[in-house]
Chain A
């Protein structure tokens, strides 16, 4: 039930983003700009969620694969490079990555896609490595000693034990993906960040509130749904 508060928060923010909610708030603020229509906002939310998912999911799969590879005996040599890369990516926020990607990819969807790839890959890679390393060595040793072949040691013992940590990484990746897709509006991607940027440029506070509330609602929804998934897993085991 850890997922319930974020989901409730997401619902409240979505109400705030809806035109009547935004208009109420605008009146309270003394602004009288015309709100963004609900159907266009919903369309943007859908593109936003789709973009974040389409960017983060393949990257997350890659992150899990790399995380498994660098914890195997053969891939251990790549470990320092993966650690350094992950640490460096953490030092640079999505907005800077999107900006740095513009010269390379031009305006449009691609800088955002690149940033989504990076922020999908890194948290999942880190979490996968951390999760696999948290498996007690004696349990792995016992699995080998009773005759599990390496692939089964991974699939039956290491992966199930690492999974909660990996799922945590997936959650962080998805939430970061929602934030990255929002920032992508600055580089020409059409997402929920677009009304925010438009509103900031035209001093239209209603648009700013709508875009910000809708983006935050999406992020909390992603967080809530994945927390639910984590909770269910933990419940299964108990």
Chain B
């Protein structure tokens, strides 16, 4: 048994067996509920998921089986908890809610970490297949009503349109910020490559931006943009406003310039000087060398910078909810303001999943590019 999977399995087991809040039944969506431990909520049904989580920690269990078991355990936990919630809510008024406790979240994260660790040696296609199968099973369980009694599902049913709109908006804001940052970083990276003396100051400025706390930069942009619009009213006609998507996209883009610029600069420098010299020697022109020698070597490095920037964009755009840009952050802050935990989770969970998805997708593209080069 290796240490890391064993640790994950132990955390999951502790969450299931210790008296941590697992499920709480509350009279409505805002009031705190009465917490129940996993043993109290599920009874002897904690045994099957415990078993499913113990097996993947054993070395003898092959990785594919182990990962599948861990994913199945996560799903089973949700289904069992959904069933227990439905049972508890029977006979209570319709406003009553069955919320998920820290214990369940801990067990779920541990199960997913366990699956991720055991998946590491598997081929990309196998991993994708496993994740797709798990998601299909999750959707099937959801559409059959297995989670209907859970507070989070109730909240989602009530706000489905808003959540979907916020998700799309979030992605749109992140993409816009990424493009804006690329527009700034790419020419500066090229300039720094041609004139190395420029690279130092440019890097220092981009690194300096990283020091500014996110909340401060987002907030500061409102008065700054207001002043700009005050001075140049013509910008208003272009649709620019001091509150809304503009400060969110600009502030997010400001943080993305550093990873993008670093990735682009490192990529341009990735070509072996000897290879470039050889290309010169056999009579290739500068443009041709860039196209045929520098770019193929640079692409995997670019992709790494792009991945960091994309993941950061998805996270940072969240603060846009504070400056009127909407997106999933708006749900988070609305939930925080109303003390409505479920609403907040409806915003926060998709952000984390989106970030992990983006990371995984670009990472697989990176490996493919690196192999091609």
Contact = CB atoms under 8 A, between A and B. Distances in A.
Interface of A: 5-6, 9, 25, 28-31, 75, 77-81, 84-85, 87-88, 90-96, 99-100, 102-104, 107, 175, 178-179, 182-183, 185-187, 193, 196-197, 199-200, 205, 208-209, 211-213, 215-216, 219-220, 223
B122 interface: no
A96 B318 contact: yes
Contacts of B216: 179, 182, 196, 211-213, 215-216, 219
A178 B311 CA distance: 21
Contacts of A25: 223
Contact of B212 (A78, A90, A183, A219): A219
B211 A81 contact: no
B102 A96 contact: no
Interface stretch (B39-47, B292-300, B349-357): B349-357
The secondary structure that dominates the B interface is: helix
B4 A79 contact: yes
B129 interface: no
Report which residue of B3, B113, B319, B355 has the largest number of chain A beta carbons within 10 angstroms of its beta carbon: B3
B188 to A, nearest CB: 19
B336 A179 contact: no
Nearest to B352: A92
Given A213-B216, A223-B211, A103 B345 contact: yes
Contact of B120 (A80, A193, A197): A80
A30 B312 CA distance: 34
Given A95-B318, A182-B216, A215-B216, 9 more contacts: A6-B211, A78-B7, A93-B312, A95-B215, A182-B214, A183-B213, A212-B217, A213-B220, A215-B215
Which of A78, A81, A185, A215 gathers the greatest number of chain B CB atoms within 10 Å? A81
B318 A211 contact: no
Contacts of B222: 200, 205, 208
B62 interface: no
B339 to A, nearest CB: 7
B8 interface: yes
Contacts of A100: 345, 348, 352
B135 interface: no
B311 A91 contact: yes
Interface string B321-349: 01100000100110110010100110110
B227 A95 contact: no
Contacts of B322: 186, 197, 200
Contacts of A85: 113
A93 B308 CA distance: 12
B350 to A, nearest CB: 10
Contacts of B319: 93, 95
B60 interface: no
A154 B212 CA distance: 35
Contacts of B311: 90-91
B116 interface: yes
Contact of B214 (A31, A91, A95): A95
B213 to A, nearest CB: 4
Contact of B215 (A31, A77, A78, A183): A183
